[in-house]
Structure 1
């Protein structure tokens, strides 16, 4: 897929992987719109990149409808959606963990939000001669991390949805569905996970996303995720134990 002169929406584009990806795509000659729920952060990011932004909490159904209306009106040539917005809680399952409430928040942002936005944007994407949906999941989508238990659940659900959506849309549309599975990336959201010490720069993920789209690699692995996936396919039990070594 040729990722040049495309109009692209990046959710959660005010920082981290979303910001780095927006920056990379702009340099490659694309028109990028970023969205997010923090107006100040979003405005600052958009001004730095010289692009447009739309404030939207993707967990709010009415806000998503408003976002889609704005896109249909002002960006009717939108052809790529990058579902990047996400949250995660670092904790362990057990008595007093409050796992249900943490899971509810994680699923609202990491799973239900992209599913809703995709469904609402399908009519617009279907109008384009070439289009793509890009879901940012994680290396925990294929095996869990015990200190990110319900985050792992949500990303696994997004992985499954991406596969089903890819197969479904391939039958009668020109919409391609990509899934990006990064290993640890150094962002504000990963400070509690050791991102500053052990994470890759967001720019690495941005470059891998761009290259993966250009090469039509529907599953895009970033950092160690590719080897982790290969290890999992070879020996799931051993791979999961290695992935969680020292954490349980």
Structure 2
């Protein structure tokens, strides 16, 4: 995949991993479109990125997904990379009967999984019209193992992982569209502050790994600690065949 001259849409691009990716790709000579729910945060982010514009909206809402996809087609017909980065995560104590476990899980599953499927379906026709295109799903180390702190978030990322594999298989014979999946570990962002994000890696490390993966056409992109887990899974998979 070329690493410059692209037009890139990044959901959740006003902060954290999304903003770091926007900066990295902009610096490399790409046009960037960042999306987020807060107009104020988007404007602040635009002050940190060259050659970028913003589209405000909440991709967890069907009406916003449709509107944003239509806006991309009408105003940015050259978009050839879509990065699905927007996410939701909650500490979810399954032993607490007063905790709204199902409500939290619904929000996570809707934002991290179902909304990605719908938005991807909406933008696929535009991507398939490009000479070279990519979909990048930002997954998580949590996709490989749930835990008691983030059990339903982990489930949503496991679902996203399975969907991404199926999407990649679906377009395996299409040499114009490549499907990437990024697996960050704990990252130091506001998004992860509640779960000890201060101990995580910088968001710029995730952005760098994705950039190098695009250059190498490396569709599986484990980052940091996830590399060890991903390697072990790959070895087991190879051995079983």
Instruction: Give the structure 1 partner of residue 130 of structure 2.
Output: 128
Distance verdict in 2 for CA 1:178–1:233, change over 3 Å: closer
SS at 1:164 equivalent: helix
Tell me how far 1:25 sits from its aligned partner.
0.2
Tell me how far 1:229 sits from its aligned partner.
2.7
Structure 2 counterpart of 1:151, from 148, 153, 174: 153
Instruction: Give the structure 2 partner of residue 246 of structure 1.
Output: none
TM-score (norm 1): 0.91
Q: How many residues align?
A: 235
For structure 2, the residue ranges without an aligned partner over 5 or more in a row are 237-241
Instruction: Give the structure 2 partner of residue 58 of structure 1.
Output: 59
Superposition pairs for residues 56-205 of structure 1, below 5 Å? Answer: 56-96=57-97, 97-172=99-174, 174-196=176-198, 198-205=199-206
Alignment check: 8 A CA contact 1:144 1:152 kept = yes
Tell me how far 1:63 sits from its aligned partner.
1.0
Alignment check: 8 A CA contact 1:126 1:173 kept = no
Q: Please list the CA deviations of residues 115-154 of structure 1 after superposition, one character each: whole Å capped at 9, or x if unmatched.
A: 1110000000000011000000000111112210000000
TM-score (norm 2): 0.93
Distance verdict in 2 for CA 1:17–1:8, change over 3 Å: same
SS at 1:49 equivalent: coil
Q: Please list the CA deviations of residues 29-75 of structure 1 after superposition, one character each: whole Å capped at 9, or x if unmatched.
A: 00000001111101110132131000011011111111111111111
Distance 1:215 1:183 in 2: 21
SS at 1:29 equivalent: coil
For structure 1, the residue ranges without an aligned partner over 5 or more in a row are 236-248
* CA-atom RMSD in angstroms: 1.6
Alignment check: 8 A CA contact 1:56 1:67 kept = yes
Between 210-219 and 90-99, report the one with greater CA deviation.
Answer: 90-99
Distance 1:34 1:233 in 2: 33
Distance verdict in 2 for CA 1:233–1:130, change over 3 Å: closer
SS at 1:186 equivalent: coil
Alignment check: 8 A CA contact 1:141 1:156 kept = yes
